[in-house]
A and B are shown apart, each in its own frame.
Chain A
Amino acid sequence: MNKKIITLLFVLYSVCSFSQKYISRNGSVQFNASTPLEIINPINNHVSSVFNSENGEIVFQMNMISFKFEKALMETHFNEKYVESEKYPKSIFTGKIKNWNSDFLDGNRHNVIAVGTITIHGTEKEIEVKGSLKKNNKNITIDSDFELIISDFEIKIPKLVRDKISKKVKVEVNINLKQK
């Protein structure tokens, strides 16, 4: 009997330690809200993400204050007046890769669609974004491009600078997740 229990514990242990999770804390998200009047193209290199390769669940999280702008004053205005980083410090995406199956991890690049909820400035929105995914040894790289509309997130842009900031924002995500 003891032997059986030990064997079972072993199985249990190996199941638990056989990780299906991939994690990263230094992914990048860059957005572009440039207009002919002003270049607005900041990057955040401290994006965290976890991906569960068992069921295709994926989450992203980042601190808005980590976006680095070329102009310091623009960075202050972004944090203080527009996304209100003190009140809403984090932006989050929680979702799932559509039609997930383990064939996506065969080492080739696959185009995938993620569906889920994005939270920016305390406002939630359901989104569906296209991206690509590739497994490389113990890493998974994920890239994605999509567009967001500023007004969807209750971010108010004053009239005076309205022409300087694009209403649609292009977002580019690059992340390399390591097996946990």
Chain B
Amino acid sequence: MNRVFIIISYLFLSFSSIAQEDLLLMLDENTETLTFATFKSKKIINLQSVEQSSKNELDFVISHRFGPLNSGYSELYGLDVGSMRMILDYGITENISISLARSSSEKVIDASVKYRVLTQGFKNSPVTISSYSSVFYDTLAVKWWAIDSITSNKNIGFQQQILIASKINSNLSVQLSPIYTNYYKCNQEDFTAKKINSWALGIGSRYKINRGVSINSEWVPVIMNDSDIIHPFRNKDIINSFSIGVDIETGGHVFQLFATNSSRMSDKGFVNQNADKWNEGGVYFGFNISRTFNL
């Protein structure tokens, strides 16, 4: 009888001591957190990243590209020349943003939509997936195409990218972007145009070296033109874009400084229309400056 009493009072004691235990344990629950800041900027270098403007955020970007390094002493290794691209990017919702851009030397105006389909961390997803669609219009080519055909407008082209990115740890992020481009290639000698269907694969990464600075690199091999498979290293005709740079972030600004073999800055231009090679000194220095406004 007594023994039973003792056992029960023990039980009672142990129960009440559990109740006294760490109150914090009562609060523990599994919460999923969505990955943020996979990249510092909306572009890795030339390539679009999975970052986009938040709702009601207007981002104004100026991209500047100097001339090629191999232009020599008389051009101060490219620093005398410059072309620019202005970009206005606006977030309609948290997941949809639109942008409008103009490239000065290419004479291309383009409009694009970025749509985030999936964010890393949502239901344990290992990747963020976004869609990037752009339409571009060549304002320079008007006079040539008018001669060739009046039935279809050959100044216009479009590009579709799927951006798949993963923030592997707080410093390292990687991205793969299959890119499809459809445009007309103009021949300035006989005023003819050839339709190009091109497939490329953008590969980009960023590595944060401290809180404000990261090193970015990207390579964008064209893998297929129409039905011709293109070897990324052995082909002679197509030069793939390779760029390396640093992102420096301060308050509301991001500065991107980089070196690239792409003289062109439009989405179509840097993927498909490169004329310069790194090993021949066809390297361009450039920078992007972005300023964010909250509307």
B15 interface hit (Cβ, 8 Å): yes
Does A142 make an interface contact (CB < 8 A)?
A: no
Q: Decide if A65 touches B12 in the complex (CB within 8 Å).
A: no
> Which one of B31-39, B107-115, B232-240 is at the interface?
B31-39
Total residues of chain B contacting the partner, CB 8 A = 29
User: Quick check: A63 and B23 within 8 Å, CB to CB?
Assistant: no
- Nearest neighbor of A8 in chain B, beta-carbon distance: B8
Task: Pick from B27, B36, B292: contact of A65, CB below 8 A.
Answer: B36
Q: Which residues of the other chain, B, contact A160 by a CB distance below 8 angstroms?
A: 250-251
Contacting residues, chain B, for A124 (C-beta < 8 A): none
A72-B57, A79-B37 as given contacts; A59 in contact with B8, CB under 8 Å: no
- Shortest distance in angstroms between A163's beta carbon and chain B's nearest beta carbon? 10
- Chain A interface category by residue count: 35 or more
Say yes or no: B37 contacts A161, CB within 8 Å: no
- Taking CB atoms, residues of chain A closer than 8 Å to B33 are 63, 65, 89
Q: How far is the CA of A72 from the CA of B252 in the complex (A)?
A: 11
Interchain CB contact under 8 A, B27 and A50? yes
A24 CB to nearest B CB, Å: 10
The DSSP consensus for interface residues of chain B is: mixed
A168 interface residue (CB < 8 Å to B): no
Task: Determine whether A3 belongs to the interface, using a CB cutoff of 8 Å to chain B.
Answer: no
The interface residues of chain A lying within 8 Å CB-to-CB of B4 are 1, 5
Q: Residue of B at shortest CB range from A23? A: B26
For chain B residues 1-41, which have a beta carbon within 8 Å of chain A? 1, 4-5, 8, 11-12, 15-16, 19-20, 23-24, 26-27, 31, 33, 36-37
In the assembled complex, which residues on chain B have CB atoms less than 8 Å from the CB atom of A23?
26-27
Interface: B192 (CB within 8 A): no
**Residues from chain B with Cβ under 8 Å of A147 in the complex:** none
Name the residue of chain A whose CB is nearest to the CB of B11. Answer: A12
Mask of A1-45 contacts with B, CB within 8 angstroms, 1/0 = 100010011001001100011010100000000000000000000
